[in-house]
Amino acid sequence: MINIIVTGASGMIGSKLLRLLPNDFRLVKNIDRTEGLDILNYPGLLTTLSSARADVIVHMAAFTDVNAAARQEGKSEGLCFQINVTGTRNIVKLAKQLNCQLIHISTDYVFDGTKTGEYLETDKPNPIEWYGKTKYEAEKIVLGSDIKWCIVRTAYPFLAEFPGKFDLVRSRIKQMKDGNLPPQFTDHIITPTSADQLSIGLFKLIRAKALGIYHLVGDTSLSDFDITTEIAKQFGFDETEITKSSLAEFNKSAPRPYQQQMAMSNQKFKSQFGNTFSSFPEALAAIKIQMKEVEKLI
Ligand SMILES: NC(=O)c1ccc[n+]([C@@H]2O[C@H](COP(=O)([O-])OP(=O)(O)OC[C@H]3O[C@@H](n4cnc5c(N)ncnc54)[C@H](OP(=O)(O)O)[C@@H]3O)[C@@H](O)[C@H]2O)c1
């Protein structure tokens, strides 16, 4: 049995991970504020967890609102820095105290989006906005620690259902339903990732006690325009109504910088752990089936 502590399990990715938890895993504790536990309160964490027996902490808790983060740029007293950096420092201390491994969830936003080709684990991060900067600071704390660590970078997770917030796929569906889809960037390349497949990838890493950095992302990197066209095809919207625009143009007057070329490679993970991630159309088709199941229950 693998005993895990999870932070941020009430979040979008965390809730999916818990729903898919395999039989050989046991949840020791979920650390988030719904449980009355705050990663900024280290003494509180110790009081609750000092005698916990855990093999691994999966650290997903974070300040994830990128636009709100931008409004805190440079402020180490701001909530974004506090949760992402100070919070991670506390979780590293907790992993050391409990003598367990740490899987730290990070993001493609640590990169600047200027690479021609896919980002690899060996590429040097160079974040260009505050959320990415705080997530990179957190990575450096993990990297510089003497615990057993694994950093998992993922990108644009999507899933069939999560009432807490919209992901890429569900927000495009809503915009097309409501008839207010904005023009779609043809020069913004991202790597959408099924949250189901991400969870399975995480279980594989945990079972293998994997160390180091891994990119757990979907198999396909594509533009916003191509993503939305695929969603329209599969969900029965008129794809000819999707109009095009350019992120390079938008960036000239954008309130914050947006990374442009964010193709990510999952080759390192795939070569060690086999096929887990699928192409975007395949992952989307699987999500569509799950959405239908959810609709039946409502
Ligand atoms: N969503 C994405 O597009 C994306 C992409 C790449 C990487 N990631 C990374 O994946 C991880 C999970 O993302 P997500 O989208 O699932 O996050 P999310 O839905 O925004 O959830 C964030 C989680 O963090 C918890 N949290 C926030 N502040 C906390 C605190 N002070 N103490 C304890 N818990 C706290 C929240 O719980 P409470 O508010 O209840 O405390 C919630 O469970 C993050 O590390 C994020 O950086 C996300």
3-state secondary structure string across 95-111: HHHHCCEEEEEEEHHHC
Count of the separate structural domains present in the chain: 1
Q: Which atom of ligand 1 sits closest to the CA of residue 87? A: 31
DSSP code of 214? E
Q: Which atom of ligand 1 sits closest to the CA of residue 108? A: 6
Residues in CB range of 80: below 8 A, 6 or more apart: 63, 68, 69, 72, 130, 131, 134
CA dihedral for 68, 70, 225, 265, sign (positive or negative): negative
Q: How far apart are CA 161 and CA 144, in angstroms?
A: 36
Q: Which atom of ligand 1 sits closest to the CA of residue 34? A: 40
How confident is the model at residue 294, as a pLDDT? 73
User: 8 in ligand 1 pocket by Cβ < 6 Å?
Assistant: yes
User: 91 in ligand 1 pocket by Cβ < 6 Å?
Assistant: no
Q: How far apart are CA 38 and CA 175, in angstroms?
A: 35
**Å from CA of 13 to ligand 1 middle:** 8
What global pTM score does this model have? 0.97
**Å from CA of 242 to ligand 1 middle:** 31
Work out the angle between the directed axes of helices 87-98 and 130-143 (0-180°, nearest 10).
Answer: 20
How confident is the model at residue 2, as a pLDDT? 97
Q: If we measure between CA atoms, which residue out of 127, 135, 255, 279 comes closest to residue 194?
A: 279
**Å from CA of 197 to ligand 1 middle:** 18
Q: Check which CATH number belongs to the domain holding 104 and give it.
A: 3.40.50.720
Q: Which atom of ligand 1 sits closest to the CA of residue 33? A: 41
How confident is the model at residue 298, as a pLDDT? 58
Mutate to test the pocket of ligand 1, among 64, 161, 194, 214 (most ligand atoms within 8 A of CB): 64
Q: Which atom of ligand 1 sits closest to the CA of residue 131? A: 47
Query: For residues 117-138, b (16+ Cβ closer than 10 Å) or e, as one string?
Result: ebbebebebebbbbbbbbbbbb
How confident is the model at residue 211, as a pLDDT? 98
Q: Which atom of ligand 1 sits closest to the CA of residue 38? A: 32
**Å from CA of 7 to ligand 1 middle:** 8
The H-or-E segment that residue 7 falls in is strand 2-7
| CA end-to-end span of the chain | 35
User: 34 in ligand 1 pocket by Cβ < 6 Å?
Assistant: yes
Give strand pairing partners of 30: 6
Nearest residue (CA) to ligand 1, atom 38: 33
User: 127 in ligand 1 pocket by Cβ < 6 Å?
Assistant: no
pLDDT in tens, the chain (298 residues): 999 999 999 999 999 999 999 999 999 999 988 888 999 999 999 999 988 999 999 999 999 999 999 999 999 999 999 999 999 999 999 999 999 999 999 999 999 999 999 999 999 999 999 999 999 999 999 999 999 999 999 999 999 999 889 999 999 999 999 999 999 999 999 999 999 999 999 999 999 999 999 999 999 999 999 999 999 999 999 999 999 999 999 999 998 999 999 999 999 999 999 999 999 999 999 999 999 887 766 5
How confident is the model at residue 293, as a pLDDT? 81
Q: How far apart are CA 160 and CA 122, in angstroms?
A: 32
How confident is the model at residue 236, as a pLDDT? 94
How confident is the model at residue 139, as a pLDDT? 98
The whole domain housing 252 covers 2-297
